[in-house]
Chain A
Amino acid sequence: MTDAFVRVDDLRVSFPTEDGIVRAVDGVTFSVERGKTLAIVGESGSGKSVTSQALMGLVNRRTATIEGRAWVGDNELIAASDDELRKLRGSVVSMIFQDPFASLHPFYRIGNQLVEAVLVHQDVSKSEARAQALDMLQRVGIPNAERRIDDYPHQLSGGMRQRVMIAMALINGPALLIADEPTTALDVTVQAQIMELLAELQVQYNTAIILITHDLGVVADVADEVAVMYAGRLVERGTLEDIFYDPQMPYTVGLLSSVPRLDDVSARLTPIGGQPPSLINLPSGCVFEPRCGARSWLGDDRCSTVRPELLDISSTHSVRCHLSDADRKRFAAESLAAVSGKKDGSS
């Protein structure tokens, strides 16, 4: 795991505010191989976007404290100077964002925005950069790319704009692509096309992808590994199979029980009760304890007083929970059974 291409080790990001220190990311560790996709899953405010922006060097270091280590290949990102980080951005690490309507500059032609991305990292002529831009637009499936290259963003649909964003992110052949909710703002039919495009290009460029999302359906489609975040922490990490078929942490179990299932239309959704905690004033024990269905299972007060560690339970699967192996399995089995159990009760 430590030899992986992308390694993040104990990443911490905190913002001092008037009300106290906001610990947006607190000890996040994961790794991704080239050509593989890691999905970071969590609800709003769980720290998944801040994690990705810290890796891009897009978190303002004047207003935030960033600690830990992160490597992409031989490049260490956290200790790097602003200028080193800038040179890595767009060439080694790229990012696409949630809202393609707002992410492209409204005043510049898309071709020029792509050319700009080429010229900042490659020592090529303008016409060569434009040729690259055109080639990239064709690769991401922009029809009539020769004409569209001179369009302004507002002349394109949302899906087309996201394709342009992907073209811009991949034009310098980055080793790592961070996709921050890339399909959330798009129509459902377009979502699938965009994810398919990303998967194709990932094979072509052998790119590592970190996919930030709250959409477990997308995760099931494309992820090789999954990291579940809650209140700035990784609470469970494993392969796609580990997380979907053998969830251990009650929060992960809760997420899975709140996903609608197409194969079982009568099944009821079970929302997780309560709200995520304030990142300024975290519970002193397990951060999920106040909402956890198994909070009283231990028989002592460890869940509310002691922070659990992220423990490896297999070579691929880690979980942050005080419960015993047997109890975690029992909780998952009961919760997921309850979801389909409602079917028997209602029919």
Chain B
Amino acid sequence: MTAYVIRRVLTGILILVLLSMLTFILFNALPADPAALTCGKSCNPQTIEANRERLGLDMPLYMQYIEFVKGIFFGRTYGSGSATFECSAPCLGYSFRRGEEVTPLILGVLPVTIYLAVGAFILWIVTGVLLGIYAALRRGRWQERATMGAALVGYSFPSFFIGLLLLFFIVIKWQLLPYPSYVPPQTDPLQFFQTMILPWITLALVFAAFYIRLTRNQMLETLGEDYIRTARAKGLPERTVIRKHALRAGLTPIVTAAGLDLAGLLGGAIIVESVFTLPGLGRLAINSVLDADLPVITATVLVAGFFIVVANIIVDLLYAVIDPRVRLS
């Protein structure tokens, strides 16, 4: 088991290293000259060259990468002489577009994305899994068909459509909620909640629809297993058969899907954040792409990748806890 954990963590680190190299290479393969992007219209050859040197862009690529990695762990100093400035660890780079360090920028928007992802996650897991179990237990009856029909509808609509629909009816037409405007929960809990509820519902609807189908299929497959028949043959009450024998095995694959989906959202829900103008990681990423703000793009990709890799490890470890066959092999 310990060896398994160590192996998983090491692979995770390796993946992150490869991911950072890849984004770094892509970053430099772009036709845009990063130094030329630092000064915009006021550029002249001297300022470009000065900025190139200041940001370390004149170094060979592998040196830049090493500086970048060193910056993450130990911080780094840009420039020399009187024009130096410190970027303390973990330094993810410096956005010449915004004239800011990337790390505080990301830390500033990350809470919004975390609130969005976690809130939606709770909503969709609860509704998706419960309705999926319900549909499986009502197999072949109208309750199953109604649930699965509703799930199909939810599954068919793209999130921006659901989001705009909710905005239009609930905020604009019926005016049940004020127009979303993000504030941190500690500033104004009510406004925070009023702003977040529609994005939560939008994301949850899309994912819940998928989880209803997933859960139902897993449950039906499990209920057809021989060991469920054995549990019934023992004389266990149907309640115990479902709760203890079917759910444990049927919900295991859902852990995987849920972990990865949550991690994916933590990397930024670009569409929903844009529809509801939430200042999260997704919006930061898309704005940086539009601005060609390369250090920020690199950092957001890395942060998103970090969540996915960590979630993968956690999911694998959870799996080993749940399924003894994984644990020992």
Report if B230 contacts A (CB, 8 A).
yes
Q: Which residues of B contact A (CB under 8 A)?
A: 140, 225-227, 229-238, 240, 245, 248-249, 322-325, 328
Interface string of A87-122 (1 = CB under 8 A from B): 111110011010100111111000000001100110
Contact B322 A90 (CB under 8 A): no
Interface string of A138-170 (1 = CB under 8 A from B): 000000000000001011000000000100110
**Complex Cα spacing A56 to B323, Å:** 30
Contact B328 A117 (CB under 8 A): no
**Complex Cα spacing A117 to B225, Å:** 18
Report if A86 contacts B (CB, 8 A).
yes
User: Would A152 and B234 be within 8 Å (CB), given that A58-B229, A102-B225 are in contact?
Assistant: no
Which residues of chain A are near B236, meaning CB under 8 Å?
86, 90, 116, 120
Nearest residue in A to B226 (C-beta to C-beta)? A102
Contact A104 B234 (CB under 8 A): no
- CB B230 to nearest CB in A, in angstroms, measures 5
Q: Which residues of A contact B (CB under 8 A)?
A: 56, 58, 63, 86-91, 94-95, 97, 99, 102-107, 116-117, 120-121, 152, 154-155, 165, 168-169
**Partner pick for B226 among A103, A120, A168, CB 8 A cutoff:** A103
**Complex Cα spacing A152 to B324, Å:** 7
Contact A97 B235 (CB under 8 A): no
Contact A97 B229 (CB under 8 A): yes
Which residues of chain A are near B231, meaning CB under 8 Å?
105
Known pairs A95-B233, A102-B225, A107-B249; list 14 more (Cβ under 8 Å): A89-B234, A90-B235, A103-B230, A105-B230, A106-B227, A106-B249, A120-B236, A120-B237, A120-B240, A152-B324, A152-B328, A154-B324, A154-B325, A155-B328
Nearest residue in A to B227 (C-beta to C-beta)? A105
**Complex Cα spacing A154 to B325, Å:** 7
Contact B233 A102 (CB under 8 A): no
Which residues of chain B are near A95, meaning CB under 8 Å?
233
- CB A91 to nearest CB in B, in angstroms, measures 6
- CB B223 to nearest CB in A, in angstroms, measures 11
**Complex Cα spacing A255 to B227, Å:** 32
Contact B325 A56 (CB under 8 A): no
Which residues of chain B are near A102, meaning CB under 8 Å?
225-227
Contact A106 B323 (CB under 8 A): yes
Nearest residue in B to A53 (C-beta to C-beta)? B229
24 CB-based A-B contacts, threshold 8 Å: A86-B238, A89-B235, A90-B233, A91-B235, A97-B226, A97-B233, A102-B227, A103-B226, A103-B229, A105-B249, A106-B227, A106-B324, A107-B248, A107-B322, A107-B324, A116-B234, A116-B236, A120-B235, A120-B236, A120-B240, A121-B235, A154-B324, A154-B325, A165-B230
